[in-house]
């Protein structure tokens, strides 16, 4: 079993959400990983020269699809442990990520503990089911928040993309997040 304190190989963190990337990098560094954080596929390709032993990759990036990086990193280093994160989770992309060589596929907002477990699990080990999974209301709320941010906090555009009435969306956004 790999250990998080085994820092012989660095960890490549690829996410275009800079605040999320910085928080996750700090958490992973506290766990003993040597983190190199980048915000695009182009930057990731440059950092891939480090031949990281671990990678955490967002699936949707401003300049492309993170799944393309999975195969490229696996070609550089066959024993790399890759976790794919996404705010747009569905079964088809989960299967594509695993087929490309990812060891796990987690929906945002992913718990850092789940990420570390996936990175350090023994090869072939199955991840445990979450002790306290998010409620359906919380998953819905997180999805709405993500689309709202992607629309530059434009309520009308967010409502159009989510196919809901603008006033309904405003009421949802005004409430606190569900548990």
Find the angle CA(125)-CA(74)-CA(2) to the nearest 5 degrees: 40
pLDDT in tens, 102-131: 888 888 877 888 888 888 887 766 666 666
Question: At 68, phi and psi to the nearest 5?
Answer: -65, -35
Strands 54-58 and 64-65: unpaired
User: Tell me, what's the pLDDT at 59?
Assistant: 85
> Rounded CA gap, 75 and 103, in Å?
15
Q: Which fold does the domain 136-174 belong to in CATH? A: Arc Repressor Mutant, subunit A (1.10.10)
Q: Is 132 left (phi over 0), alpha (psi -120 to 50) or beta?
A: beta
pLDDT in tens, 30-67: 888 999 999 999 999 988 888 899 999 998 888 888 88
pLDDT in tens, 155-165: 999 999 999 99
Percent of the residues in the chain that have a pLDDT greater than 70, as a whole number: 87
Q: What pTM value is reported for the model?
A: 0.67
Residue spans of the domains in the chain: they are: 11-120, 136-174
- Selected from 3.40.50.2300, 3.40.50.1220, 1.10.390.10, 1.20.1630.10, the CATH number assigned to the domain covering 11-120 reads 3.40.50.2300
């Amino acid at each position: 079993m790999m250990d998080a304190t085994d820092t012989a190989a660095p960890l490549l963190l690829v996410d275009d959400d800079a605040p999320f990337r910085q928080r996750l990098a700090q958490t992973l560094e506290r766990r003993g990983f040597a983190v190199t954080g980048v915000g695009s596929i182009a930057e990731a390709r440059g950092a891939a020269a480090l031949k990281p032993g671990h990678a955490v990759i967002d699936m949707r990036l401003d300049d492309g699809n993170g799944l393309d990086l999975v195969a490229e990193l696996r070609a550089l280093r066959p024993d790399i442990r890759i976790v794919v994160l996404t705010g747009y989770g569905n079964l088809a992309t989960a299967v594509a990520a695993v087929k490309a060589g990812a060891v796990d596929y987690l929906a945002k907002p992913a718990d850092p503990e789940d990420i570390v477990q996936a990175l350090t699990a023994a090869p072939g080990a199955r991840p445990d089911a979450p002790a306290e999974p998010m409620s359906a209301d919380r998953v819905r709320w997180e999805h709405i928040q993500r689309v709202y941010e992607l629309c530059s906090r434009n309520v009308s555009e967010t409502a159009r993309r989510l196919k809901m009435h603008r006033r309904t969306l405003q009421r949802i956004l005004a409430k606190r997040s569900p548990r």
